[in-house]
């Protein structure tokens, strides 16, 4: 697998594309989850840190993959944040591996 170069900050558009969601959903999650704290420039453009990205990954996993409500996601993140975050990372890695393997299969 090709190693990805990570940036320090990602725009809201880049972040939305990572999770295949609308930027408006990220703005909504920012209001609902006080742990998401993007840097905002003078124009108000949002720039998400790697920590924000990890938090968004966890919220996305809980709400979009596991079907939690926002309140359920908040509670899960509060009560067992490390386990929830770890599960989200494992699922993302498996999805990437599956995509990579399917691409190899197509090339055979």
Question: What's 26's domain CATH number?
Answer: 1.10.1660.10
Which pLDDT score is estimated for 87?
66
Please check whether residue 57 lies inside any domain of the structure.
Answer: yes
For the entire predicted model, the pTM comes to 0.73
Please check whether residue 3 lies inside any domain of the structure.
Answer: no
Rounded Cα–Cα distance for residues 60 and 107 (Å): 31
Please check whether residue 1 lies inside any domain of the structure.
Answer: no
Please give the tally of structural domains in the chain. Answer: 1
Q: Please give the residue that has the higher pLDDT: either 41 or 101.
A: 41
- The yes-or-no verdict on residue 42 having pLDDT over 50 is yes
Please check whether residue 53 lies inside any domain of the structure.
Answer: yes
Instruction: Name which of 55, 70, 67, 72 is nearest 19 in CA terms.
Output: 55
Which pLDDT score is estimated for 78?
84
What's the average model confidence in pLDDT over 51-78?
92
Please check whether residue 60 lies inside any domain of the structure.
Answer: yes
What's the average model confidence in pLDDT over 87-94?
71
Which pLDDT score is estimated for 1?
45
Phi, psi of 39 (to 5 degrees): -70, 140
Please check whether residue 2 lies inside any domain of the structure.
Answer: no
């Amino acid at each position: 697998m090709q190693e990805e170069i990570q940036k320090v900050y990602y725009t809201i558009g880049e972040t939305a594309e990572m999770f295949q969601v609308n930027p408006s959903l990220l703005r909504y999650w920012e209001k609902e989850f006080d742990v998401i704290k993007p840097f905002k420039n003078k124009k108000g453009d949002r720039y998400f840190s790697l920590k924000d990205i990890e938090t968004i990954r966890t919220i996305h996993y809980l709400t979009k993959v596991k079907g939690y409500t926002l309140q359920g996601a908040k509670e899960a993140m509060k009560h067992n944040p490390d386990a929830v975050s770890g599960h989200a990372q494992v699922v993302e890695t498996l999805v990437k591996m599956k995509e990579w393997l399917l691409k190899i299969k197509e090339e055979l």
